[in-house]
Amino acid sequence: EPNYFKRLMKMRRYIREGNFDAVLSFLEAANFICEIAGLPKRKWKLVVGERSANPKILKSVKHRTYRWFHLLADHVVANSHENIKMVRKINPFLSKKKCHVIYNMVDFEKWKPSEIYEPLNNNKFKIVVVASHRYLKNLNGLIEAVNMLSEEEKNKLQIDWYGENSHDDSLQKAQNKIREFGLSRIFNFYQPILDIHKKVQEADAIGLFSFYEGLPNAICEAMASGKPVIASRVSDIPLLIDEQFTFDPTNYESITKRISMILNMRKNEWEETGKKNQEKALRLFNKEDIINNYVSLLID
For 231-288, how does the pLDDT look when each residue is reduced to its tens digit (9 = 90+)? 999 999 999 999 999 999 999 999 999 999 999 999 999 999 999 999 999 999 999 9
How far, in whole angstroms, is CA 97 from its chain's centroid?
25
pLDDT for the residue 166: 77
Residues 139, 161: contact at Cβ < 8 Å?
yes
What's the full length of the chain, in residues? 300
pLDDT for the residue 240: 96
Pairing between strand 205-208 and 125-130? parallel
Burial of 260 by CB count in 10 Å (0-12 exposed, 13-18 middle, 19+ buried)?
Answer: middle
For 83-103, how does the pLDDT look when each residue is reduced to its tens digit (9 = 90+)? 999 999 999 999 999 999 999
pLDDT for the residue 259: 98
For residue 208, which phi and psi values (nearest 5 degrees)?
-145, 130
pLDDT category of residue 63 using cuts at 50, 70 and 90: very high
pLDDT for the residue 55: 85
HSE at residue 286, side-chain half, CA atoms within 13 A, is: 9
- Provide the strand spans (E) within 37-170: 45-49, 75-78, 99-101, 125-130, 157-162
Residues 79, 214: contact at Cβ < 8 Å?
yes
For residue 100, which phi and psi values (nearest 5 degrees)?
-140, 145
For 171-205, how does the pLDDT look when each residue is reduced to its tens digit (9 = 90+)? 999 999 999 999 999 999 999 999 999 999 999 99
CA–CA distance, 53 with 171 (Å, rounded to integer): 23
CA–CA distance, 267 with 265 (Å, rounded to integer): 7
CA–CA distance, 194 with 197 (Å, rounded to integer): 8
- Side chain identity at 170, as an amino acid letter? S
Residues 21, 45: contact at Cβ < 8 Å?
yes
CA–CA distance, 73 with 99 (Å, rounded to integer): 10
Residues 240, 271: contact at Cβ < 8 Å?
no
